[in-house]
Amino acid sequence: MNDADSVRMKFADRGSPFAGERHLKQTLEERRAMNLINRKTFERPDEVRRHMLRMMAMGAIFATRPGAYADELVKTPAQTEGPFFPDKLPLDTDNDLLVINDSTSPSDGIVTWVTGRILDPTGQPVRNALVEIWQADAHGAYLHSGSDNGDKRDKRFQGYGRFLTGSDGTYGFRTIKPVPYPGRTPHIHYKITRGGKHLLTTQCYVKDHPGNAKDGVLRGITDKKQLESIMVDFRPLTGSKIGELAGRFDVVLGLTPEDA
C-alpha cells in the first residue's frame, strides 16, 4: 500500500464524505495536507461534524450543473497576501479554526461557517485545490510574530486553516466573523494552490461593512462586478441556538490549473 492509499483509507475509516474521491497521484504537499485537513471535524463531537456536512451539502446544491453559468462568472480579483501570513504554522492546521487540537475551550468571536467552491474560468470545479485561509482573531491579532496587538492574541484561535477540495470543488471552514483592526476593514485571506502551483491569492470581505469604503486594499479594485464578487453576506445560520453565521464565497480562477 502506497502513501496515497494509506491516506485514502484513513479518510474512509473516519467516515469522511471525501472517502474514495482522491486521486492517487498527489504531491507530497497535498498528502501532508490531507493528513491534517478535517482531523478535528471528524474526531470531535457529532454536532460539529453534522454542521460541517450540512454546510458542505448546501454548497453542493450549486454543483449539479458545472459550467452551466460560465457566462455569468466573474473572475475573482487577485489581492495582496499582506504581511501577516503565519511565519510559523500552528500544530493544528485543519478547517476548524475555533478549537486547537483537543482543547475544550473555544476561541473568542462569532462562530461563522464559510463555504464555497473553487471554479475555473468555464465554471468547472477544481479538484484537489489546496485552499488556505488566515485571519486576525477577535482582538485584531494575527498568528504572526510581527502582528499588532500581539500581546492580546487569542491563543485559543487557530488563525490559519487549510482544506483540499473534492470532485465538486467545494471547501468549508468553521471560523469567526472577521473583525476590523487599525488600517483594515474586516477580511479573510485566501491562497489557492494545486499540485504545488500557485493559482490565486485574494481576500473576502463583509458585505456592507462601513469600513469597506475607506479600506486602501479594497479601493484598489475598480471593477464593480469584481468588487461585488468578494463581498460575503454573513447571515444567521438557520436553527443555530448560539448565534452562528454562515457565508458563501466562490472563487473563480483566471486560468485553468493546467494553464497556470
Query: Domain ranges in the chain?
Result: 28-252
Pick the closest to residue 256 from 166, 194, 191 (CA basis).
194
- At CA 83, angle to CA 77 and CA 84, rounded to 5? 100
Query: Hey, what's the cell of 2?
Result: 502506497
Region 28-51: what's the mean pLDDT?
44
Residue 70 pLDDT class (50, 70, 90 cuts): low
Digit-coded pLDDT (tens) for 133-142 = 999 999 999 9
For the chain, strand residue ranges (E) read 111-119, 130-134, 160-164, 170-176, 187-194, 197-206, 231-232, 235-236, 245-248, 251-252
Instruction: List the single range of 50-59, 92-101, 121-130, 167-176 with lowest mean pLDDT.
Output: 50-59
Residue 169 pLDDT class (50, 70, 90 cuts): very high
Backbone angles phi, psi at 48, to 5 degrees: -65, -45
Region 218-244: what's the mean pLDDT?
95
Highest mean pLDDT among 10-14, 28-32, 44-48: 44-48
Assess contact for 256 and 121: CB atoms under 8 A. yes
- pLDDT score for 104: 72
Judged against a pLDDT cut of 80, whether residue 258 lies above it is answered with no
- At CA 234, angle to CA 140 and CA 51, rounded to 5? 100
- pLDDT score for 8: 30
- pLDDT score for 11: 30
Residue recorded with cell 471552514: 173
Strand partners, 187: 205
Residue 52 pLDDT class (50, 70, 90 cuts): low
CA dist., res. 112 & res. 118, Å (int): 19
Assess contact for 253 and 125: CB atoms under 8 A. no
CA dist., res. 91 & res. 36, Å (int): 10
- pLDDT score for 37: 40
Judged against a pLDDT cut of 50, whether residue 76 lies above it is answered with yes
pTM to 2 decimals? 0.77
Judged against a pLDDT cut of 80, whether residue 56 lies above it is answered with no
Q: Among residues of the chain, what percentage have pLDDT more than 70?
A: 71
CA dist., res. 174 & res. 49, Å (int): 11
Q: Write out the CATH class of domain 28-252.
A: mainly beta
Q: Give the mean pLDDT of the chain.
A: 79
Query: Hey, what's the cell of 150?
Result: 500581539
